[in-house]
Amino acid sequence: MGIRSVEQYKAGLNDGRTVFFKGNRVEDVTQHPDLGVGVNHASLDFELAENPEYRDVMTVNIPETGEIISRYFKTPADTDDLLKRREMIETSTRLAGGVVLLIKEIGTDALFALSLIAKRIDEKHGTDYLDRVKAYHRHCQEKDLSMAVAQTDVKGDRSLMPSEQAHPDYYVRVVEQRPDGVVVRGAKAHTTCAPYVDEIIVLPTRNMTEQNKDYAVAFAIPANTPGLKMIASPFGASSSSDFHHPVSSHHRMIESLTIFDDVFVPNERIFMNREWDFAGALANTFVEFHRFTAVSYKTPLCDLFTGGAALIADYNGISRASHVREKLMHLISYAETVRALSKAAAVDCTRVDGVAIPNSLITNLAKFYFASNYHQMVSYVQDIAGGLVVTGPDEADVTNPETRDYIEKYLGGVKGVSTMERLKLINLIRDLTASDFGGYHELLAIHAEGSLEAQKITIYRGYDLERCKSLAKQAAGMQMSN
């Protein structure tokens, strides 16, 4: 098939899957007023692949078969592949109001990690996971499927291992082994796009011990598999008004609590089954790819912050003020540092078994820098924009003839800019920084792709401190051991 159309993608979602939203079972996610926004947002992936302007960015030709496939499925072999993947993610996110599409990005991150770790498990345990991963990769590529990744378990008491918890199902585990597969139980949290993708890929979230081997499980299942239940989150969208929320009324991601209520997984879809000694490696390898995806999709939102702040400074007549220039300089540095680091991570990649892995230290630096400075950047935008971001009039007041003229007259800015243009910009800034959607982005910045501590640990562990120590010794005039 190669590339699907938007219609084919949407038709595939009406498959009897079990999705709940605000207390109700959803019959067809594509027709649902809230979930439908997520579906339409995700549809851009297929739209862009068909658009001649973006076809080269979004698709790739496989010379051996002559087939044209979504570029997401191309396993990166070198820096060039990583840079092109980065460009695809950044471009599609930019065209989607700064919101990543994430229906293939995260799934292929998982496929790349699975292929690397499956090989190692096979070598040690004599399993045939690599063949299964390759067959599954081909299946998703040929059918142009969308995928969510359910890695983060609900976790209960964070200080305890899975088997020590108040009940045994705080982490997804194998509860029954059958000749033709396994039965799994448990729940994963925050699974982005799960209600409206074709496939759910499940990975372990942490390292395991032998005592916890039932929790060392990785697999993939169609979203309508019996026993799979998704409770979709309503948060992160503010209203359907294009005027009030110009971005989030069209673009949003929706997460689910993803429940595995005794779900059967056939053997060919199992990629790890109790090989506990590889659970941590799989979790971390996935994250190596996924944080690179993260730092590739962060920049369009940073650019919107810079553009929104610079424009409102113009509209309010403050763009020459030195404090405004300083804040804009910080916003520019923020965006360009993340962008430069994400490119550097691709340039400085390592190759393992023919797969290019983005530089882990640089990727984590980029993600940490982005996340730990995000709220400060929001405050710069809000500071420049002023209080109207949260005190402006309703759309109905703007159209009511009794109030419209007052609004036109009193809420203007500099001469030459219409009040309505100014209000539209104010609304954009509210949508991005001071709405339900804005709050969602703040949490996403901090926690998605792993909390801040996870990046700190990787940076600390991955850095060659010994090199610096010996430099310090040398500068101090100490005798060098070698």
Residues that bind ligand FAD (CB under 6 A): 106, 149-152, 155, 158-159, 188, 190-192, 255, 443-444, 447-451, 453
CA distance 424 to 427: 5
Question: Least CB distance from residue 263 to ligand FAD, whole Å?
Answer: 17
> Which of residues 190 and 422 has its CB atom nearest to ligand FAD in the complex?
190
CA distance 82 to 112: 12
> Which of residues 44 and 309 has its CB atom nearest to ligand FAD in the complex?
44
The Cβ-side half-sphere exposure at 76, using a 13 Å CA radius, reads 29
> Which of residues 258 and 299 has its CB atom nearest to ligand FAD in the complex?
258
Taking Cα atoms as reference points, which of 331, 357, 344, 296 lies closest to residue 98?
A: 296
Task: Tokens 């976790």: give the residue.
Answer: 155
Distances (CA, A) of 70 to 7, 56, 142, 145: 16, 10, 9, 10
> Which of residues 81 and 255 has its CB atom nearest to ligand FAD in the complex?
255
Question: Least CB distance from residue 469 to ligand FAD, whole Å?
Answer: 28
Structure tokens at 238: 């503010």
CA distance 407 to 394: 10
Q: Per-residue DSSP letters for 415-431? A: TTS-HHHHHHHHHHHHH
> Which of residues 453 and 466 has its CB atom nearest to ligand FAD in the complex?
453
> Which of residues 196 and 315 has its CB atom nearest to ligand FAD in the complex?
196
**Whether 347 contacts 400, CB under 8 Å:** no
CA distance 35 to 52: 28
Task: Tokens 């230290």: give the residue.
Answer: 361
Task: Tokens 């007052």: give the residue.
Answer: 406
Question: Least CB distance from residue 34 to ligand FAD, whole Å?
Answer: 16
> Which of residues 299 and 316 has its CB atom nearest to ligand FAD in the complex?
299
> Which of residues 236 and 308 has its CB atom nearest to ligand FAD in the complex?
236
Question: Least CB distance from residue 375 to ligand FAD, whole Å?
Answer: 14
Question: Least CB distance from residue 399 to ligand FAD, whole Å?
Answer: 34
Question: Least CB distance from residue 380 to ligand FAD, whole Å?
Answer: 22
Question: Least CB distance from residue 351 to ligand FAD, whole Å?
Answer: 27
Question: Least CB distance from residue 298 to ligand FAD, whole Å?
Answer: 13
Helix, coil or strand: residue 439: helix
57 CB contacts (<8 Å, ≥6 apart)? 48, 71, 84, 87, 88, 91
